[in-house]
Structure 1
């Protein structure tokens, strides 16, 4: 009889030790990539799109976890204000594009118009078709100007999406993720499918292609997306600066003020430790 594996597995079947080791390796590479972006002055724009609860946010968190926030930004815009609704549709997104040496990750993007706005009737047919004509032109202009543009579509099955919605409903820390629009997406599954197909047909171009990330297994999706991102950005490893940490000088005649002059937060950790012992 074959021995059972002793490796602890995640809910979705990927061994924890394998997932964590590979994620760490990829996150180290992301730091190397960011160093190159900052040093070379490159501009990187990564668009994360997909159905509600497809795992976009979790993937973005793993990408940014160890990156320097001075050179990386996450853009997740609210619904447009009255003033923004009077602008050219792309205008409010353009101001968030990466500058020299920056990586910008968009948690949803101008493709809202081809998805939720189209399905929920938040835009007119004229606005929708104008978007499909203009988006490839805009993206080609960004690429010609030197921006590295990468577009990901996180794909999730209807059964898995339903399970994640239920899990969010039961989790007080994730309840905020369930909006009326999210729940409406269950009833409009086929409408969103048709909208996605039309969006791909118009905007999946040789110069700015869509990359599909199968995300029923969240952990696999994160690894696959990060690995592809690293393969797509043409970075190289830079020599690391030699850092010498100086010895701490001996104390002189400085004398600290009495402790009782300061206000300290309550030591909750100590109390928990006492209860556990």
Structure 2
């Protein structure tokens, strides 16, 4: 058990670090936990990794909040929608076939990577001609979609949130990351409420992982704020590429 715990904590640290910068920490943490604890049900793994994700994301959000100004109307709309949708997604885990969803996500990710690479202005603040009402409605709409995805599948949620805040609402990478962290707190919390109510959280692993995820998140957020948008853009591309490889493996090799 000690060896398993050490490996899980290392994975949680790395996931927290990545997640604080551009999201996508679950792409490392979830499969690593599945590999290290193969004798537990998948639902228990999903529930367990939500605990370190919640705490790590909370630390990153607090770190960003001290230096980034939030758009609270947009944020609140997205948080409420994402929270409710994440609960529904967690409930739907056993009813929807991931094999149908993942190929679609894979195609979207490839398009995102191509667009981000060739559009050098992507992630630099761009004014969008949206009224406040339209901004709030768009935030709520995408909060529903991504929140449901997080409850259902999970990995990559932070990156999808950042993408929406940049491409749809015109935020820069730093502000998008900050807002995404707060929304991700809501989706993680919703999933934890469901999984804990069904007894699918392994607290003996979740608590130590949470501590290391917090440490990783602290340093990740600090580095992102220090280096700025250019650094975060490069990191975003790296994580998106890793996400593509992960989903391609699931779709083409594992056929999950």
TM-score, normalised with respect to structure 1:
0.24
Higher helix fraction: Structure 1 or Structure 2? 2
TM-score, normalised with respect to structure 2:
0.26
Larger radius of gyration: 1
Which structure has more relative contact order (CA 8 Å, sep 6+)? It is 2
Higher strand fraction: Structure 1 or Structure 2? 1
